[in-house]
Chains A and B, each alone.
Chain A
């Protein structure tokens, strides 16, 4: 046994050395990087959102700071410039396929840099089962100039995906060790990034048919676990937590998880009655986002004033 362990250690050192050498080489050779590790992409403007989020997190609390976290329904659906005023400062921290696990680590990332007053967590019921947040974790490694911040490393680990760890290790070398954190991506034509994390979806984006789900969504064990962590962190830092169920053309039926405090839930499933403001069942055009944000504003303010 000791001989095996000794030889395994020897090989591990050899492998780590080879990996670092390959990572350095790939950091300066785009073709190699693309072949072995992959290519960053626009993918919901994470590349622009994350530096903005870092700046917002570090900014002083002159106003009440409200952070929104959630999936694509959020970054296309809530326009901070509609919500912002003399009293509140909003940041939309949504990203593609973001699950509660991903939101938890994004919240940690923000709290490591500053304080916030309220968290609005978009929990889109269609995402309650299925993937473990692998896609979003990969997005926050590959397309995120702020990687390798500690919280993103933890997110990669929590996604339980070998490839995410592999990519995480490479970008730790490239961006952390070599400081090569410039990311070149081509923005999607119909997606107009308007700052504070929001993407204004232009009307030129093709409308898709509405797919109706009749299955009732309920929280997976994993969603419950990370929701509890978010609750705990918010309680610890005295942050108000609001759960937002986003608007849909055909609302997805769901069972409200017992761990949620019913008084802090904003069910907006039917908040946007005009289906022409959506480009599919649950993604809003920019016009729709402005409409929905106007619906949201007084309700958010009420929560502040009443609690």
Chain B
């Protein structure tokens, strides 16, 4: 499994294998040393080493140019011209994912929640496990490492569920996300030329493009892992059926939001501090989450908007209202209240996506400001994306009770027809030129 993972990663650029190996060695040594270190000072120093190395790599490869450019811009605001050189750095694919994964290992050992593994091979396989290496889900050592360490047996039901998830993930990525992508690119690039109704369409299409792109990859990763007898954590649970923002964040990119919750939000006090600090903590976690996506102010604003949307629910203690089952879990259709909740949440999330997709803040603000012009015109272009969205919503609604069980019907022949239709759609839309959005993060 380790060899397969390294071949997989090296296929993209073998030079970055050294980087992942370096990160792996550092955290393995830190983990081993923490097992024997009793003095708190030494334990802190070891944890600091892991944090410095992993976050340092991330800072250099992902954020160096952003910091330099922001520094120059800041001085320019006071009329001071600064000279500084930026670097031509290639962002190693998946670096944000695997550094967080190795960090969780060191932190859990530091907190004495996890025993370090004695096998370097097993640890290296945990860091580089190829199905989820480049775009998550970001796994915890406590979940993945024991599964790698123990002997695995073939399980028919697990393998079949895995194959179904791979097929479903491919459908979402190849058929829906890749079909919406050129329309989104066109609308966002030429937003001045289109009426507001088309801009709304562009924002909605992007909401579904990014969902299908990213959750499609996660489904494929979870499905492939199942074929190896490994259960990865769920990353998406039908987030667009959320009835408020708090529920949205329990259903969107779960592996990242729980990572930030466990390793950042709770350590800085979470919601068990005074109100001023709660507000600070909420903003910290959402801003950092935005910044994790990329070195651009648009991502930070995206995080800030979500913080502003989430905060009222937290302060009014309504953030745990929809903790359990999904909307209409015991009914075929949602009631009016649920429909309103889902609709309003989707609108808020989609407006925030404009910041995420825009090239810069001016682009985002201009795009949003242009929406009222011609909002009532019925779009006569780019309507071909609507059937894809309708199909996705219907199927997602059908599967909504269990994101890991994509079993269309109890009748085998109906399932065969369903899989055949999915496969034909995938094959007729397949393009070897497209990539995944989240590879860049």
Q: Which residues of A contact B (CB under 8 A)?
A: 1, 3-4, 7, 11, 14-15, 18-19, 22, 36-37, 132, 134, 160-163, 166
B71 at the interface (CB under 8 A from A): no
Q: Which residues of B contact A166 (CB under 8 A)?
A: 427-428, 430
The contact of B416 among A4, A14, A162, by CB within 8 Å, is A14
Q: Which residues of A contact B154 (CB under 8 A)?
A: 1
The contact of A160 among B159, B417, B420, B432, by CB within 8 Å, is B432
A161 and B428 alpha carbons, distance in the complex (Å): 12
Closest 4 A/B residue pairs (Cβ): A166-B427, A162-B430, A163-B430, A161-B432
Chain A residue nearest to B416 (CB atoms) is A14
The contact of A36 among B424, B431, B432, by CB within 8 Å, is B424
B114-161 contacts to A, CB under 8 A, are 154, 156, 159-160
State the total of A-B contacts with C-beta under 8 angstroms: 41
Q: Which residues of A contact B156 (CB under 8 A)?
A: 1, 3-4
Chain B residue nearest to A160 (CB atoms) is B432
A162 and B159 alpha carbons, distance in the complex (Å): 23
Q: Which residues of A contact B420 (CB under 8 A)?
A: 14-15, 18
Nearest Cβ distance between residue A24 and chain B, in whole angstroms? 14
Task: Report yes or no: A11 in contact with B432, Cβ–Cβ below 8 A.
Answer: no
A14 and B423 alpha carbons, distance in the complex (Å): 12
Task: Report yes or no: B427 in contact with A163, Cβ–Cβ below 8 A.
Answer: yes
Task: Report yes or no: B424 in contact with A134, Cβ–Cβ below 8 A.
Answer: no
Q: Which residues of B contact A161 (CB under 8 A)?
A: 430, 432
Q: Which residues of A contact B427 (CB under 8 A)?
A: 162-163, 166
Question: Binding site of B, secondary structure by majority: helix, strand, loop or mixed?
Answer: helix
Q: Given A7-B160, A15-B419, A18-B424, output 12 extra A-B contacts at Cβ < 8 Å.
A: A1-B154, A1-B156, A3-B156, A11-B416, A14-B420, A18-B420, A36-B428, A132-B432, A134-B433, A163-B428, A163-B432, A166-B430
Nearest Cβ distance between residue B404 and chain A, in whole angstroms? 18
Task: Report yes or no: A37 in contact with B428, Cβ–Cβ below 8 A.
Answer: yes
A18 and B429 alpha carbons, distance in the complex (Å): 18
Nearest Cβ distance between residue A212 and chain B, in whole angstroms? 21
Q: Which residues of B contact A19 (CB under 8 A)?
A: 424
Q: Which residues of A contact B432 (CB under 8 A)?
A: 132, 134, 160-163
Chain A residue nearest to B427 (CB atoms) is A166
The contact of A4 among B159, B424, B433, by CB within 8 Å, is B159
A3 and B419 alpha carbons, distance in the complex (Å): 18
Q: Which residues of A contact B159 (CB under 8 A)?
A: 4
Name 14 A/B residue pairs within 8 A (Cβ), A-sorted.
A1-B154, A14-B420, A15-B419, A18-B420, A18-B424, A19-B424, A22-B424, A132-B432, A160-B432, A161-B430, A161-B432, A163-B432, A166-B428, A166-B430
Q: Which residues of A contact B417 (CB under 8 A)?
A: 18
A135 and B424 alpha carbons, distance in the complex (Å): 21
Q: Which residues of B contact A15 (CB under 8 A)?
A: 416, 419-420, 423
A11 and B427 alpha carbons, distance in the complex (Å): 16
A134 and B433 alpha carbons, distance in the complex (Å): 10
Task: Report yes or no: B419 in contact with A11, Cβ–Cβ below 8 A.
Answer: yes
Nearest Cβ distance between residue B422 and chain A, in whole angstroms? 11
Chain A residue nearest to B159 (CB atoms) is A4
Chain A residue nearest to B425 (CB atoms) is A36
A1 and B156 alpha carbons, distance in the complex (Å): 7
Q: Which residues of B contact A11 (CB under 8 A)?
A: 416, 419
Nearest Cβ distance between residue B238 and chain A, in whole angstroms? 26
A173 and B416 alpha carbons, distance in the complex (Å): 22
Q: Which residues of B contact A1 (CB under 8 A)?
A: 154, 156
Chain A residue nearest to B417 (CB atoms) is A18
A22 and B417 alpha carbons, distance in the complex (Å): 13
Q: Which residues of B contact A7 (CB under 8 A)?
A: 160
Q: Which residues of A contact B423 (CB under 8 A)?
A: 15
Nearest Cβ distance between residue B335 and chain A, in whole angstroms? 38
Chain A residue nearest to B426 (CB atoms) is A162
Q: Which residues of B contact A22 (CB under 8 A)?
A: 424
A130 and B253 alpha carbons, distance in the complex (Å): 33
B394-441 contacts to A, CB under 8 A, are 416-417, 419-420, 423-424, 427-433
A22 and B423 alpha carbons, distance in the complex (Å): 13
Nearest Cβ distance between residue B15 and chain A, in whole angstroms? 16
A254 and B413 alpha carbons, distance in the complex (Å): 58
Q: Mark B160-179, 1 if CB is under 8 A from A, else 0.
A: 10000000000000000000
